[in-house]
Amino acid sequence: MNSEDIKNLLQDAFPSCRIEVTENQGQFRVLVIGEEFKGMTEVVRQQKIYAPLTPHITTGRIHAVTVKASTPEEQDAAKIRIQND
């Protein structure tokens, strides 16, 4: 699988979210930003994101993936912190 394949899988699962997928030597980083994560713990967010990816991880089509999920507000706050550092 490539970055675009993973993005399409996640876009189908999270149609209202912004999704970014990057790849470096077979290791994928996934960022999913959406209101639907509001009030969820980080573990629950990760479980939701891993759910559509798990069959592809199990078969080896996805070797290594790191996921991060946030709400738009959390993402904006993170950008502000980075800019102030």
- Based on the structure, what is the number of domains in the chain? 1
SS3 74: helix
pLDDT tens for residues 4-26?
Answer: 999 999 999 999 999 999 999 98
Query: Which domain CATH number covers 26?
Result: 3.30.300.90
Q: Domain limits at 66?
A: 3-84
Cα-Cα-Cα-Cα dihedral of 65, 10, 23, 67, to 10°? -40
- Name the DSSP class of 14: -
Residue 80 banded pLDDT, cuts 50, 70, 90: low
Q: The whole model's pTM is what? A: 0.86
Go through 42-65 and write b for each residue having 16 or more CB atoms within 10 A of its CB, e for each that does not.
eeebbebbeeebeebeeeeebeeb
Alpha helix ranges (H) inside 17-71: 42-58
